[in-house]
Amino acid sequence: MKNVVLLYLALCTGLISQVKAQDRVHIIPEPVSIQEQPGEFTLDNNVSLIVNSTDKQLEGTVKWFLDRISVSTGFYLKQQKESSGKAIRIELKKSDANQEGYTLSVTPTGISLSAATPAGIFYGLQSLLQLLPADIESASQINRTWTLPCAEIADYPRFGWRGLMLDVSRHFFTKEEVKRYIDEMSKYKYNVFHWHLSDDNGWRIEIKSLPELTKVGAWRVARTGRWGKFEAPKPGEPTPDGGFYTQDDIREIIDYARQRYITILPEIDVPAHSLAMIAAYPNLSCTQKQYSVNPGSDFYRKDDNALCIGNDSVFLVLDKVFTEMAALFPCKYIHIGGDEAYKGFWEKDPKCIARMKKEHLANVDELQSYFVKRMEKMLQSKGKKLIGWDEILEGGLAPEATVMSWRGMKGGIQAAKMNHHVVMSPWAFCYLDLYQGDPSAEPPTYGMCRLSDSYNYDPVPDSVDEKYILGGQGNLWTESVANYRHIQYMTWPRALALSEVYWSPKSKRNWDDFISRMESQFPRFDTARVKYARSAYNAIVKPAVNNGVLSVKLSTEIKGLDIYYTFDNTNPDPFYPRYSGEALTFPAGADKLNIVTYRNGKKIGEQFTVSKEELSKRMKED
């Protein structure tokens, strides 16, 4: 009987150890395979680092890793050829497997990381860092025990294009802020930084042969408030707001990104969204008027923000721009925008009419297509490929163009069926500037893209061959994003969700498990002083009208939350009514609904207020 009891206790102990082990690995994006094991590896100053290769790129990655962990641990591991003690072993192994993949083994006596390329090693190191405590994100040394749970991990990405886009035209962000964004995205295995460098609101890249672009186009009048509602520039008003990157800045940032295996995709948005360029060189528009760089005022169709396609000077200027950009950026693509062109000025412009007649173009859609095809040839002459927003399909797609589909999946599907490569970034799932929770609890913006929207979308529609889908990206337009802290708030955690969409196998997608792993990232964000949104914990408010009576249903994105509410203008907590699932109606005289969420008796969501008037307005808009 004693032996039976001992066996039972041993089995229970083993089961508890295994359960404990399986509760310690919380990597985002989710690896292809994880076999968690009991035990842990302790990192200290006696651990050696053994690297089997003299590859120069790998050497830089190893130095990055040593510098990275030394800040918070105080340890600077010694590199040795061999060690009889505990060691981290890094090995390059030539392989036909995915070139960004890696295998990582953590045991109590050592860590082994192998990959076919330095990029794979880098991604493996990012996973290794996520196995360490959240204190690894500290900017100063912390005296503690540093342990990693034991595990066997095999991993590789689903897609080769895993990007985030940052718009620096609507608001300018410094070189150091751009570097920080690159650092933050690299932690989650993103490998493309799409840099939106020009728009109506600012020209952000030095072009030495066209100095007016930055002398005039990089600066605008100062305004604060709600974008789109700003007062238009006054004659002679100073233009202190703005900035630009010198070509030396660009080179520095490119090198910084390269060290983190991130390719920078530059975008110059043409033929529309070009008011900053036109402000610098007024002869480039159809009207040839002297416009100001737009500060965020409503100018739609009043100012001509599109380049005149009938004007040969436009192509001479663009040739200078793209010649200098092609020399700067190693990326094989240059993004030319191509979106949202208002064609009304083209229809009436004598030069555009003459161009259409000469080139036998039936309409202004074909005129835009002519422009895009001419841009493609221009870029090809400089050794680059053209990529543009899905409007470049209108009037006929350039022969070798790659389409970035933003208005939905339709443009991407159409391009893929034409055997063109596609990068999926549909706005309803990938636009990081949209509301991520109830508008009453969020800074003002437009549209809605919840965390679950980003997580649950798939970039490959059933009707297309996956080989044409390069991958996808999240896009952060910055009309309503005036500072870096708000960049972080809008990016995280939705970019965690998208990182998993683009890296992890579709079969591994699990919302509840993702939420658990996301929550393990929050202490890391806190330690790194990264601002992030907790909007997914807020209640979702859905109004309806039945028999002329306004009612409200409440729900949450995340399971297991309790919703408490009041109609009497007081602040709800667990001693107030708990939402039961039935539709609520406003009592007579009540005009506001206050809502808050709790989990396990503790407040977890933001309390916010929705007025009866606002709910009625939403019903009309829907």
Rounded to whole angstroms, the Cα distance separating 196 from 187 reads 22
Residue written as token pair 């880098």: 122
Is residue 481 within 8 Å of 490, Cβ to Cβ?
yes
Rounded to whole angstroms, the Cα distance separating 452 from 556 reads 11
Is the peptide bond between 271 and the residue preceding it cis, with omega within 30 degrees of 0? Answer: yes
Is residue 92 within 8 Å of 118, Cβ to Cβ?
yes
> Is residue 6 within a helix (H) or strand (E), and if so which, with residue range?
helix 2-21
Instruction: Please report the DSSP string for 156-204 in residue order.
Output: --S-SEEEEEEE-SSS---HHHHHHHHHHHHTTT--EEEEE-EETTEE-
3-state secondary structure of 253: helix
Positive or negative: CA dihedral 409, 28, 528, 193: negative
* Angle CA 362–366–367, to nearest 5: 100
Residues forming beta bridges with residue 84, ordered by sequence position: none
Q: Among 174, 169, 175, 253, which residue's Cα sits nearest to residue 219?
A: 169
Is the peptide bond between 29 and the residue preceding it cis, with omega within 30 degrees of 0? Answer: yes
**Residues with catalytic roles:** 340
Within 8 A by CB and 6+ apart from 18, the residues are 36, 38
Positive or negative: CA dihedral 484, 190, 263, 423: negative
Residues forming beta bridges with residue 435, ordered by sequence position: 448
Is residue 118 within 8 Å of 61, Cβ to Cβ?
yes
Question: Cα separations (Å) of 73 from 51, 69, 125?
Answer: 21, 6, 16
Is residue 539 within 8 Å of 555, Cβ to Cβ?
yes
Q: Hey, how many other C-beta atoms are within 10 angstroms of the C-beta on 110?
A: 17
Residue 169: exposure state from Cβ atoms within 10 A (0-12, 13-18, ≥19): buried
Rounded to whole angstroms, the Cα distance separating 461 from 426 reads 12
Within 8 A by CB and 6+ apart from 39, the residues are 21, 107, 108, 149, 150
Question: How many Å from the N-terminal Cα to the C-terminal Cα in the chain?
Answer: 70
Question: What phi and psi, each to the nearest 5 degrees, are found at residue 401?
Answer: -70, 150
Residue written as token pair 């004007």: 311
**Both tokens assigned to 200:** 């109506």
Within 8 A by CB and 6+ apart from 8, the residues are none
Rounded to whole angstroms, the Cα distance separating 157 from 134 reads 24
Within 8 A by CB and 6+ apart from 227, the residues are 170, 296, 479, 480
